[in-house]
Structure 1
Amino acid sequence: MSTERKQEESILMSLLAKDSEYAFRLLYDRYSNRIYKLAIRYLKSPVLAQEIVQDVFLKLWFERKNMITDKPVEAWLITVAKNKLINQFKKLTREWNRKSAYNADVPINKSTDGESKLLNAEFERNFNSIINGLPQQQKQILHFTKEEGLSYNEIALRLNISPLTVKTHMARALDKIRKCLKEL
């Protein structure tokens, strides 16, 4: 980023901190398309992507007084967008797990909404790819906790390992899943 652009952005952030709607509009016009492209790339849904854009800029507006004016706002916006995407994937995972628990024989999404089906299919493919990339023991422990609802002690007895080892494997599996979702 050029020095002139940094100064301009710093001025916009200073104005934003003073509740300038004009500065907010300029920042929105400058960065909303980039945030939208990032969101649509993973969500495959224009509606959900637009919601991410709105959420990111709402957060910018609510955090405006606490923002550091000499830091690049674009990096902050991208980070917030990625976190919103991760939260969206977590929400879909919870919904998927809940549906799986109640409807083991029923397809995940009965909706006729094409966007929802594409979103669920894309997420499921990415999520399954991440799970399949885990070491065998981590996959097994994840399965026992999420699918069978076993406690760490019960898993330890089944696998003939200590509960602390189960906990360690679970933590590593969840860390890897989080990292992979962040990379999406």
Structure 2
Amino acid sequence: MSVTNIHNDKQLLQLVARGDGPAFAELMERYHAPAFRVVMKLLQDRWAAEDVVQDIFLKVWLSRETLPEVENFHGWLLTLATHKVYDQVRRYQRESAHLQRWQKELNITADTAMPAGRPVSDFEELVTQAMARLSPKQQRVFTYIKKEGYSRQETAAIMNISPETVKTHLEQAMRTIRAYCLSRMDTRMVTVLIALIVRERL
């Protein structure tokens, strides 16, 4: 029987829990739109909302074995979407606070700081330049772990590689970034760089 003919969510969730790809595609087809509407209403940004929804369904897939326990998938998914948005907003607020402290420590004045609404310091721009020198996999690992807050295990699942490979990519990425930034920064910026990228989330 085709998964498109399964009208009962419970049956569909049981198939997804067993790793059935077509069943998961059908689940996304059914619930992408309502999840997107909720996220879009909160974020008011189409591209950001789509990123969040994709991340939500990725988490659904990674935790698929628990899906048969969900009584009301529609309500459960929308709750997950709401929490994900709030987590993202809180992370943005923390990053903004960090950047303001970095600007103060680096004596970046209002004249040299980025305009309001774009909390990006010269330091962060330097790290971005350094990241451009990384391999694609190193860039992804660094972004997932250092910028988006994923653990080594979560990053490994997303990229379909082992946690040890993730660790290797991250270590190589940090060495490259350090070397690039150290050659272009004064002593105070070096201190901030080390505080930022040496702390492991592994």
TM-score normalised by length of structure 2: 0.47
More off after superposition, 38-47 vs 94-103: 94-103
Instruction: Please list the CA deviations of residues 70-95 of structure 1 after superposition, one character each: whole Å capped at 9, or x if unmatched.
Output: 61111121121112101111111012
In 2, distance between residues paired with 1:99 and 1:108?
12
In 2, distance between residues paired with 1:33 and 1:17?
22
Task: Indicate conservation of the 8 Å contact 1:11/1:69, yes or no.
Answer: no
In 2, distance between residues paired with 1:7 and 1:29?
13
* Residue number in structure 2 paired with 1:109: 117
In 2, distance between residues paired with 1:95 and 1:54?
22
Task: Indicate conservation of the 8 Å contact 2:31/2:74, yes or no.
Answer: yes
Deviation of 1:66 after TM superposition, in Å, equals 1.6
More off after superposition, 98-107 vs 14-23: 98-107
* Residue number in structure 2 paired with 1:26: 26
* Residue number in structure 2 paired with 1:52: 52
- The letter for the 1-side match of 2:64 is R
In 2, distance between residues paired with 1:49 and 1:66?
25
* Residue number in structure 2 paired with 1:158: none
Rate the CA distance shift 1:70–1:40 in 2: closer, same or farther, 3 A.
closer
Count of residues in correspondence between the two structures: 107
In structure 2, runs of 5+ residues without a counterpart are 1-5, 105-109, 120-202
In 1, distance between residues paired with 2:102 and 2:117?
13
In structure 1, runs of 5+ residues without a counterpart are 1-5, 112-184
Task: Indicate conservation of the 8 Å contact 2:36/2:50, yes or no.
Answer: yes
In 2, distance between residues paired with 1:71 and 1:7?
15
Rate the CA distance shift 1:12–1:69 in 2: closer, same or farther, 3 A.
farther
Task: Indicate conservation of the 8 Å contact 1:99/1:108, yes or no.
Answer: no
Aligned pairs for 1:12-91 (under 5 A) are 12-69=12-69, 71-91=71-91
For residue 34 of structure 2, give the secondary structure of its aligned residue in structure 1. Answer: helix
In 2, distance between residues paired with 1:14 and 1:75?
17
* Residue number in structure 2 paired with 1:96: 96
Deviation of 1:35 after TM superposition, in Å, equals 0.9
Rate the CA distance shift 1:38–1:70 in 2: closer, same or farther, 3 A.
closer
For residue 63 of structure 2, give the secondary structure of its aligned residue in structure 1. Answer: helix
Instruction: Please list the CA deviations of residues 66-119 of structure 1 after superposition, one character each: whole Å capped at 9, or x if unmatched.
Output: 2235611111211211121011111110122123224464544348xxxxxxxx
Q: What is the RMSD computed on CA atoms of the aligned residues?
A: 2.5
TM-score normalised by length of structure 1: 0.51
Task: Indicate conservation of the 8 Å contact 1:96/1:108, yes or no.
Answer: no
For residue 12 of structure 1, give the secondary structure of its aligned residue in structure 2. Answer: helix
